Amino acid sequence: MMRILDRKILRGATWVGIGNVTSQALAFLFMVILTRFYSKSDYGLIRYVISVGTLVAIIVAAGFPSALVRFIAKNLGRQKKIDEYFTNIFTITLGLLFVVVIAVVIIYKFDMMIISIVIGYSVVYIYLGMIRGFIDYKKIALFNILRNLVKVAILLILCYALFVKSPLFI
């Protein structure tokens, strides 16, 4: 019994480790691409938008991902109770998201980048809380990798679609 448990823990730790290392490498690649293609002022603006969006998304999530992890892990096997709890968290999060998006529209004059980041990160936080609660390390690792891969892909598409030139080549 102990060997099976040890093997399961080792497998989970391996998935999380691989996921974290790959995810951090992709996050670093994102920053390299960002600094390579954008001027200092554009880079500063993008970092500002990402920071504001992340802070606002944390307010929207309001600790629900941690509560979700705890509740799901505690109630594994009781699907009806989990569904009920998730529905409540989802409803509250949507309400908070609506209020925050209205505040962002008023404060930042309908800045779509900030709104997109707030919505995207809010969904990410809730989803990560859910898969952590089900203790599915493979999904956690793959989701973290995919999340950073999507950020890099969107950045590359924006760089080439908008024909952004590095200040080094102007």
pLDDT tens-place values along the chain, 170 residues long: 567 667 877 888 899 899 999 999 999 999 998 888 888 888 888 888 888 888 888 877 777 777 777 888 788 888 888 888 888 888 888 888 888 888 888 887 767 777 888 888 888 888 877 787 777 888 889 998 999 999 899 888 877 777 655 555 44
Domain tally for the chain?
1
Q: Which residues contact 152 (CB under 8 A, 6 or more apart)?
A: 26, 29, 30, 33
Residue with tokens 């691409």: 33
Q: Are 93 and 126 within 8 A, CB to CB?
A: yes
Tokens of 170: 């102007």
Rg of the Cα atoms in the chain? 19
Alpha carbons 54 and 68: distance in angstroms, whole number: 20
Q: Are 96 and 60 within 8 A, CB to CB?
A: yes
CA 118 from chain centre, in angstroms, equals 10
Domain that holds residue 33: 2-169
